[in-house]
Amino acid sequence: MRMNEMIQYFKQISGKLGSNFYTGFQDTHNLQQLSFIRNLQKEMKDTKILDVPLHELNFTVFDLETSGFFPEKGDRILSIGAVKMKGTTIISNQTFYTLLKSEHPISDEISLLTKIQTDELQNAPDGKEVLLQFYQFIKKDILVAHHSKHEKAFMQKSCWDHLKIRFVHRIIDTSFLIRLSNPQWKSFSLDDICQKCGIEIKNRHHALGDAMMTAQIWGFYLNKAQEMGFKNLREVYEYLAKSYN
């Protein structure tokens, strides 16, 4: 019997055993997951990721749909979408997508943009459960996002609010590699880059749809970086540091 099935089983019989039994079991499960995250963070500090060959790196490319732009003012994550990559290869059967529970209505503008409805959020998993699942999915992968400051700010706030832990995963912005071959570009939307790379724009403003397009962009420019002779992230960092001095 898997862990989720066990939890559902104990939930069904909790009336006979008393609510404290189920709560204690669930708390133990959450503690185990939090312990997993802390061990993960410790292992990540010991990993010399900058020297791993680019084609051997494990990435999780992800996107957040949010209720606004300012987590410190109460805006929140509505959905998370992600897909795994090995080097330039997208692993299309390893994806993650979920809504996050919220009792607060979302604006008509955001609902129209994301196609997410308030009643869907009311029935979604809560933030703590989603974040624990997301950590299980990403493990020690390097995270990649387009305009990653947005994702980083919301992940930092949500991880502290729901789990009381710091979000320490490395997030690389797509612009990191784009600047190697296009140093003159200063600003670019996801749509603009997709058009320049010949990537079909589909499922826009859906967290998994945007993550898939971002993964294609990342693969495109990671391949360009390798063609330019870069072997690992350290070489890319050093080159960009010299270029902007």
Residues 26 and 40 in one domain: yes
Q: Is 205 left (phi over 0), alpha (psi -120 to 50) or beta?
A: left
pLDDT in tens, the chain (245 residues): 444 444 443 344 344 434 443 344 345 556 667 666 666 666 556 568 889 999 999 999 999 999 999 999 999 999 999 999 999 999 999 999 999 999 899 999 999 999 999 999 999 999 999 999 999 999 999 999 999 999 999 999 999 999 999 999 989 999 999 999 888 887 789 999 999 999 999 999 999 999 999 999 999 999 999 999 999 999 999 998 887 65
pLDDT score of 184: 85
Q: What angle do CA 227, 231, 233 make, to 5 degrees?
A: 115
Provide the number of structural domains found in the chain. Answer: 2
Taking the complete model, does pTM exceed 0.95, yes or no? no
CATH of the domain at 66: 3.30.420.10
Instruction: Examine the domain organization and report whether 8 and 120 are in the same domain.
Output: no
Q: Are residues 142 and 202 in the same domain?
A: yes
Angle at 201 between CA 229 and CA 130, to 5 degrees: 85
Model pLDDT, residue 5: 45
Burial of 194 (0-12, 13-18, 19+ CB in 10 A): buried
Separation of alpha carbons 16 and 243, rounded Å: 68
Q: Which amino acid is at 139?
A: K
Task: Tell me: do 128 and 24 sit in the same domain.
Answer: no
Rounded Cα distance, 87 and 222, in Å: 8
Assess whether 2 and 98 both reside in one domain.
no
Same domain, 96 and 128: yes
Same-domain pairing of 16 and 116: no
Q: How far apart are CA 33 and CA 132, in angstroms?
A: 7
- In which domain, by residue range, is 125 found? 50-243
Question: Do 96 and 142 have their domain in common?
Answer: yes
7 plus 122 within the same structural domain? no
Q: What is the pLDDT of residue 243?
A: 79
Shared-domain flag, residues 102 and 57: yes
- Count, in order, helices (H) and strands (E) of the chain: 11, 5
Cα separation, 212 vs 229, whole angstroms: 26
pLDDT given at position 138: 97
Which residues, other chains included, contact 197 with Cβ-Cβ below 8 Å and sequence gap of 6+?
216, 217, 220
Q: Are residues 157 and 208 in the same domain?
A: yes
**Residue 212: exposed, middle, or buried by beta-carbon count in 10 A (0-12, 13-18, 19+)?**
buried
Check whether residue 15 and residue 103 sit in a common domain.
no
